[in-house]
Amino acid sequence: MPGKFITFEGGEGCGKSTQLALLKEYLQKRGQNVVATKEPGGTEIGLELRHLLVTGDKDKMDAVAEALLYYADRRIHMSQKVWPALEAGQWVLSDRFADSTVAYQYYGYDKKVDKKLLDSLYQIAVGDFKPDLTLIFDLDVEVGLARSYAKAAGMTEKETRHESRGTAFHQRLRQGFLEIAKRDPARCIVLDADKSIEDLHQDVIRIITERFGLV
């Protein structure tokens, strides 16, 4: 595909959304066409799925049901928004993608879900397509959760369904993201997210420049 697909991943409150917005601004200033999007919720139907997935009681559905709904969101997102933008030569920056399903629904749930199910869902919904680059923002779990709850305090409908799973779940998913990066080093780069917003932004720019040349 002529465009570039970059995914931003990490645990709660890791700063990836702020970094995505800064990279979008950086690329746009250099005359690039950029689409900033997210999962779940990058499309109209996706926003309805997001509401089901991230609000309410943590036990209202199990990990398999969650994976199916995240993949329904992903399929719609890819076919309605991501692939058309990439075909048009745009940069697509996505706040989360399939690594989040592996980190949350597989590692977070202590590998109780069959990994083959998640691999099959990927194949069905996304096929052989992969992101050009995945940035994984690694941060201490307690620091991230505190940030995330502080942000949610200002929301009328709290998007804290996964935050409420407790520290052990979040420790497992943090390790899960690191494992994902270790298994696919050509695609994934882990960033130390315990830095100022500006320092982290400079790290992101350096990686983008090294990977794709001067923009």
Binding site for ligand TMP (CB under 6 A): 12, 38-40, 53-54, 70, 96, 100-101, 104-105, 159, 162
Contact 157, 56 (CB under 8 A): no
For the CB of residue 129, give the shortest distance to ligand TMP in the complex, in Å.
16
Nearer to ligand TMP, 32 or 130 (CB): 130
Q: Which is nearer to ligand TMP, 65 or 88 (CB)?
A: 65
Which C-beta is closer to ligand TMP: that of 12 or that of 138?
12
- Block residue for tokens 């969101």: 73
- C-beta nearest to ligand TMP: residue: 104
Instruction: Identify which of 76, 7, 70, 66 has the alpha carbon closest to the alpha carbon of residue 45.
Output: 76
Q: Rounded to an integer, what distance in angstroms lies between the CA atom of residue 123 and that of residue 6?
A: 19
Minimum CB–partner distance for residue 29 and ligand TMP (Å): 25
Sign of CA dihedral 153, 155, 161, 162: negative
- Residue 33 in 3-state DSSP? coil
Q: Give how far the C-alpha of residue 55 lies from the chain's centroid of Cα atoms, to the nearest Å.
A: 17
Closest separation in Å from C-beta 31 to ligand TMP: 29
Cβ distance to ligand TMP smaller for residue 91 or 177: 177
CB of 210 to ligand TMP, least distance (A): 26
